[in-house]
Amino acid sequence: MSTYFGVNSSSVSTLFSSLNTSSFTGGTSMIADYASIRNGSYKKLLNAYYSETPSKGAVASSTSTAKDSTKLLSSIESSTDALKDSADTLIKTGTKSIFTAKDGKYDVDGIYDAVSKFVSEYNNVIEYTADSNNKNIASSSTSMITVTKANSTVLSKIGISMKTDGTLSLDKDKFKSSKMSTVKSIFNGAGSYGYQMSARASMINYYAGVEASKSNTYTSAGRYSYNYSAGDMMNRLC
């Protein structure tokens, strides 16, 4: 078994098997698991897992075993990337935080725009993953909805409500009349609702990338060549 950066391919399953729905219910466990994605272990393990390619000049093809179409997987990867970005904007702390008050006042319009984008990207993820046949993607999506439902009471205080299909709606007037300190407590910092959504978006993105790898071929240079142009996660990481 090949070892890279001090880890081997079997380590992938060890790391990500702990990142199931139940592990995210505990704040400490979720933060520790998500930190392993953010600190670079994620990239190193993926490199190790996908490192064994054909020799230079060789072209190997494979029969697709992916349960989802490459188009759907591309949409899932793109939407989870977007959700993570919007969530991370709200998570950010310190002087660059969107919740930094200037002259004692919050930028209500800026915060609203950031939350509105988050809601839109969240809905895209829920809609795309609803069509997935991959059990890991489906499970992570269900976990996302479960956590949101658990936070529905506090979310309703700032004008965010959950629809029957699991998507969200945002009442602009109610949001802007809410206390921005309450919005901050929901979305900002480690362990917050926003942080948990970013973590789940990362995991769904990972699962979609792995599923997409089942329907690719190698190029003569020994790199993966997807059947779609977007969501080329492995080429960017390798």
- Per-residue pLDDT tens for 33-60? 565 555 445 545 655 554 444 444 444 4
Q: Which residue range is the domain that position 225 belongs to?
A: 3-237
Instruction: Please give the biggest Cα pair distance in the chain.
Output: 63
> Which has the higher per-residue pLDDT, 65 or 105?
105
- Per-residue pLDDT tens for 5-34? 444 444 444 444 444 443 334 444 555 556
> How many domains, the chain?
1
Query: Quick one: average pLDDT of 189-200?
Result: 95
What are the residue ranges of helices labelled H in the chain?
Answer: 10-17, 27-38, 41-49, 70-91, 108-129, 135-150, 152-156, 172-176, 180-187, 193-213, 233-237
Return the amino acid letter for 26.
G
- Per-residue pLDDT tens for 106-153? 999 999 999 999 999 999 999 999 999 999 999 999 999 999 999 999
Return the amino acid letter for 82.
A
pLDDT grade for 67, boundaries at 50, 70 and 90: confident
pLDDT at 221: 53
Whether pLDDT at 224 is above 60:
no
- Per-residue pLDDT tens for 70-84? 899 999 999 999 999
